[in-house]
């Protein structure tokens, strides 16, 4: 595995200086980038084309390995899927769904079916299609946990899951239990740290047992991970401190 970074971690810096910020990320040592904001028009934020987005990253010695994208009906996802596939990336991932889709068990099942359909389209291009959780997926509806609905109602061959370890923990669910209950489904981690108050902190300075989770994940189907640090106090310093931790952990390599 190689240390990856979710670009949302430096979102404000990318807006101000796209190429300069990515140059800094490369100098820190990150090798894989997970983009965000790929829209149904096939463009990244600030109207950056997939070719330019991937090209800048490649020229800096990194790889655009994945991206988060808009949630949309499968019938409307074609241009977005083609744009992702054109870069040679491996994973296309929905990071969240609209609040209007989170209100009933029935709506969550509709989301699962739509994810299956998008996954079918992605399979045709060679992309792996996934879903990334926040904490709201662990808020029970009629006694059921939406994240479990999604993982139980999507097809393993069509949809994988990117477990954000911070948000799983914040949602009151044990990430290890999620791995053990749904083997074969979690291919990526978002490595993000929680302190005792369940707020973000520097990776390695909190309560999440990354070593146990990585060892369990790698016994299953875990293929990689992306650091995500959403704190805005010192984004460039924060991702450097995070890298200093993950790059020295044998179980993350």
Domain locations along the chain: 4-252
The structure tokens listed for 163 are: 């477990």
pLDDT of residue 229: 98
C-alpha triplet 148, 76, 64: angle, nearest 5°: 75
Cα gap 63→199, rounded to integer Å:
30
Q: Write down the CATH superfamily of domain 4-252.
A: Divalent-metal-dependent TIM barrel enzymes (3.20.20.150)
The structure tokens listed for 185 are: 């489904």
Cα gap 51→23, rounded to integer Å:
17
pLDDT of residue 52: 98
pLDDT of residue 144: 98
If residue 68 lies in a helix (H) or strand (E), which one and from where to where?
A: strand 63-69
Cα gap 212→191, rounded to integer Å:
13
pTM here? 0.97
The structure tokens listed for 181 are: 């209950």
- pLDDT per residue rounded down to tens, the chain (253 residues): 999 999 999 999 999 999 999 999 999 999 999 999 999 999 999 999 999 999 999 999 999 999 999 999 999 999 999 999 999 999 999 999 999 999 999 999 999 999 999 999 999 999 999 999 999 999 999 999 999 999 999 999 999 999 999 999 999 999 999 999 999 999 999 999 999 999 999 999 999 999 999 999 999 999 999 999 999 999 999 999 999 999 999 999 9
Cα gap 109→111, rounded to integer Å:
5
36 burial class (0-12, 13-18, 19+ CB within 10 angstroms)? buried
| 3-state SS track over 147-206 | HHHHHHHCCCCCCEEEEEHHHHHHCCCCHHHHHHHCCCCEEEEEECEECCCCCEECCCCC
Cα gap 8→23, rounded to integer Å:
15
Torsion of CA 237, 39, 73, 183, to 10 degrees: -30
What's the distance, CA 7 to chain centroid? 10
């Amino acid at each position: 595995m190689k240390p990856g970074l979710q670009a949302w971690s430096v979102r404000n810096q990318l807006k101000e200086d796209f190429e300069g910020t990515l140059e800094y990320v490369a100098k820190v040592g990150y090798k894989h980038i997970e983009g965000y904001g790929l829209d149904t028009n096939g463009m990244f934020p600030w109207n950056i084309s997939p070719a330019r987005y991937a090209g800048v990253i490649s020229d800096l010695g990194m790889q655009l390995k994945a991206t988060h994208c808009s949630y949309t009906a499968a019938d409307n996802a074609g241009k977005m899927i083609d744009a992702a596939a054109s870069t040679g990336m491996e994973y296309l991932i929905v990071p969240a769904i609209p609040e209007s889709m989170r209100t009933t068990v029935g709506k969550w099942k509709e989301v699962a079916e739509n994810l299956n359909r998008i996954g079918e389209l992605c399979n045709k291009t060679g992309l792996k299609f996934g879903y990334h959780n926040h904490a709201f997926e662990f808020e029970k509806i009629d006694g059921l946990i939406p994240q479990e609905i999604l993982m139980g109602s999507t097809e393993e061959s069509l949809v994988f899951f990117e477990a954000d370890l911070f948000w799983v923990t914040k949602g009151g669910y044990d990430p290890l239990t999620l791995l053990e209950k749904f083997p074969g489904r979690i291919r990526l981690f978002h490595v993000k740290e929680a302190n005792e108050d369940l707020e973000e902190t520097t990776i390695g300075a909190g309560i999440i047992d990354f070593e146990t989770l990585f060892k369990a994940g790698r016994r299953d189907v875990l293929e990689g991970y992306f650091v995500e640090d959403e704190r805005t106090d010192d984004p460039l310093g924060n991702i450097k401190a995070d890298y200093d931790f993950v790059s020295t952990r044998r179980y993350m390599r």
